[in-house]
Amino acid sequence: MKISFLDMSRQHTAMKNEIDEALARVFNRAWFILGEEGEAFEQEFSAYLDARHGVGVGSGTEALHLALLACGVTAGDEVITVPNTAVPTISAISFANAKPVLVDIDPATYTMDVSQVEAAITPATKVLLPVHLYGQTANLAPLLEIARKHNLCVVEDACQAHGATFEQRKAGTYGEAGCFSFYPSKNLGAYGDGGFVCTNDPEIAERLRLLRNYGQTKRYYHATKGFNSRLDELQAAVLRRKLLYLDYWNARRRELARLYDQLLQGLPIVLPQTMTWGEHVFHLYVIRCDRRDELCSFLAERGIQTIIHYPVPVHCQEAYRDLNLPLGALPEAEKAAQEIVSLPLYPEIREDEIEFVAACIREFYHR
């Protein structure tokens, strides 16, 4: 049996007629940027999140970048985040001419270790940027309290947390801004790049709308310097249709994660932990184990594709040597990077495929 990490053709096949119809609306209207589909999706996804405002942008990276600018980040400001995220989180901070300040992670959740945040705050700190990783939120309550105490903004990286909750509210709706990616592999994925920022602050929303479209107040009149970062009509049409299924897909992910949990019990591996503060949406099913690389090779020999999210912490990347954080500076993130591996999990994967993956893992440990 050959098992891909993600087979997006299965979802497309199931939705082909619906997607074709959505795309045909755009082609028939012949308006492709900042039109009816984009406005409708902004309203619908904002309503899903229970956020007052939503702004579609070009990607998750741009969502973070523009959110930081809209929150007033300028050159020399510091943004506190984590080292075990996808590099675009850090790229967005760099694009805003700010300095990323990294704190270590909680090994139980792989999200920001709240106990280390206050020690990292300086007079230059402007934003706390928690990353909701693998489909589960960071522990937001103490972070929000720290932000209030020090008069800081909170920008949530919810690019892997579409529909996840913290204390009954959706990820992305607690801070000044919440940022989402619609990269095709996400729980809510487009047919190309796309991003979104939600906020309850009308002034931040207005700044975002200016920043994403060259700073224009009306055609060829520019109130501020801006960018080209717009969610196009084709992607918005696709996302509107897919949004109708997001809760079902997330529930299916949780169901499949429980199946993995049952099948992998008793092995010398650490299974994902779902914290009591909210609902996990399992963008990724990440286990942790010794002999990780041996296990990945063993599974590959049996036709099973795995991926490591992420193999090199940001401060160990060549591009970010200027952070001047030596190996050993963030030990929990560094150790996790050597031990984690993501197993195939998506709504359309069959249960017999998960059973085969689990059986192969058991075989590896029982050799």
155 near 179, Cβ under 8 Å? yes
pLDDT at 85: 98
Structure tokens at 182: 């619609």
Residue 211, domain extent: 8-103+110-243
Asked whether residue 145 is assigned to any structural domain, the reply reads: yes
Q: Indicate if 354 and 262 belong to the same structural domain.
A: yes
85 near 312, Cβ under 8 Å? no
pLDDT per residue as tens digits for the range 77-125: 999 999 999 999 999 999 999 999 999 999 999 999 999 999 999 999 9
Residue 275 pLDDT level (bands cut at 50, 70, 90): very high
> Which run of H or of E encompasses 270?
strand 269-270
pLDDT at 320: 97
User: What do you get for the CA distance between the two ends of the chain, in Å?
Assistant: 20
Q: Indicate if 329 and 264 belong to the same structural domain.
A: yes
Q: Indicate if 180 and 277 belong to the same structural domain.
A: no
Q: What is the DSSP letter of 34?
A: S
Q: How confident is the prediction for the chain on average, in pLDDT?
A: 98
Asked whether residue 1 is assigned to any structural domain, the reply reads: no
Half-sphere exposure at residue 74, Cβ-oriented, CA atoms within 13 angstroms: 1
Read off the CATH number of the domain in which 37 is found: 3.40.640.10
pLDDT at 246: 99
Q: Indicate if 234 and 267 belong to the same structural domain.
A: no
- pTM here is 0.98
Q: Rounded CA gap, 35 and 281, in Å? A: 31
CA dihedral 15, 194, 341, 297 (to 10 degrees): 70
Q: Which of 212, 243, 274 is the last residue of a domain?
A: 243
Q: Indicate if 73 and 190 belong to the same structural domain.
A: yes
Q: Rounded CA gap, 277 and 168, in Å? A: 8
Q: Rounded CA gap, 82 and 190, in Å? A: 26
pLDDT at 200: 99
Q: Indicate if 192 and 282 belong to the same structural domain.
A: no
∠ Cα 345 255 332 (to 5°): 60
Q: Rounded CA gap, 38 and 196, in Å? A: 11
Read off the CATH number of the domain in which 300 is found: 3.90.1150.10
Cα→Cα distances 351→72, 245, 264, 344, Å: 48, 20, 14, 11
pLDDT at 232: 98
Asked whether residue 2 is assigned to any structural domain, the reply reads: no
What is the mean pLDDT of the segment spanning 128-151?
A: 99
What is the mean pLDDT of the segment spanning 270-299?
A: 98
Q: Indicate if 196 and 53 belong to the same structural domain.
A: yes
Q: Indicate if 183 and 57 belong to the same structural domain.
A: yes
Structure tokens at 325: 């954080």
pLDDT at 202: 99
pLDDT per residue as tens digits for the range 12-40: 999 999 999 999 999 999 999 999 999 99
Q: 161: exposed, middle or buried (C-beta count within 10 Å: 0-12, 13-18, 19+)?
A: buried
What is the mean pLDDT of the segment spanning 290-297?
A: 98
Q: Which of 196, 211, 243 is the last residue of a domain?
A: 243
pLDDT at 334: 99
Q: Looking at the DSSP assignment, which residues form a beta bridge with residue 80?
A: 101, 128
What three-state secondary structure class fits 3? Answer: strand
Asked whether residue 3 is assigned to any structural domain, the reply reads: no
Asked whether residue 24 is assigned to any structural domain, the reply reads: yes
Q: Indicate if 220 and 304 belong to the same structural domain.
A: no
Residue 240 pLDDT level (bands cut at 50, 70, 90): very high
Asked whether residue 198 is assigned to any structural domain, the reply reads: yes
Q: Rounded CA gap, 258 and 366, in Å? A: 22
Structure tokens at 201: 């602050």
Q: Indicate if 316 and 217 belong to the same structural domain.
A: no
What is the mean pLDDT of the segment spanning 214-219?
A: 96
What three-state secondary structure class fits 218? Answer: strand
Q: Rounded CA gap, 351 and 341, in Å? A: 20
Residue linked to tokens 């939705």: 15
Q: Which of 243, 260, 294 is the last residue of a domain?
A: 243
Give the torsion sign (CA, 251, 254, 255, 256): positive
Asked whether residue 339 is assigned to any structural domain, the reply reads: yes
Residue 44 pLDDT level (bands cut at 50, 70, 90): very high
Q: Indicate if 210 and 327 belong to the same structural domain.
A: no
Q: Indicate if 145 and 173 belong to the same structural domain.
A: yes
Q: How many domains does the chain have?
A: 2
Residue linked to tokens 């429980």: 258
pLDDT at 77: 99
Residue 5 pLDDT level (bands cut at 50, 70, 90): very high
Asked whether residue 155 is assigned to any structural domain, the reply reads: yes
Residue 227 pLDDT level (bands cut at 50, 70, 90): very high
What three-state secondary structure class fits 94? Answer: helix
